[in-house]
Amino acid sequence: MADLNIAEIPYPSGNIQFRYSRYLSDDGSKWIRHGRFEAYHQNGALASSGNYDHGNESGLWRDFHQNGQLASEGYYENGQEVGSWQYWNEDGTSHRE
């Protein structure tokens, strides 16, 4: 595997929209996400966090409402949702999707 590189993709406003680690594929044709991933709302609050394993979502992932309240939580294995996921409204009450 090549060296990891940290990517920061901004909104037009300049605030960070995505931050993640990645490496260049062996043939140099594309970037592959590997390691920590974070997405942010335009107000700067964390929107999503999790990890990639050679381009696939892996392990615990969490999504957040703009007010910082947890919106969803669950696990990925090889890029696929596994097990039961939990969901919450902005006021913290749980709901099903």
pLDDT value of position 1 = 57
Tell me what the mean pLDDT of segment 73-80 comes to.
Answer: 97
According to the model, what pLDDT value does residue 95 have?
A: 82
Q: Please check whether residue 90 is in contact with residue 67, taking contact to mean a CB–CB distance below 8 angstroms.
A: yes
* CA distances, 6 to each of 52, 66, 79, 94, 97 (Å): 13, 24, 21, 34, 33
- Which domains does the chain possess? 5-95 (2.20.110)
Residue range 12-40, pLDDT digits in tens:
999 999 999 999 999 999 999 999 999 99
The DSSP element (H or E) to which 80 belongs, if any, is: strand 80-88
The per-residue b/e assignment along 56-79, b for 16 or more CB within 10 angstroms, e otherwise, is: ebbeebebbbeeeeebeebbbeee
Average pLDDT, integer, range 42-62: 97
Residue 80 has pLDDT above 90, yes or no: yes
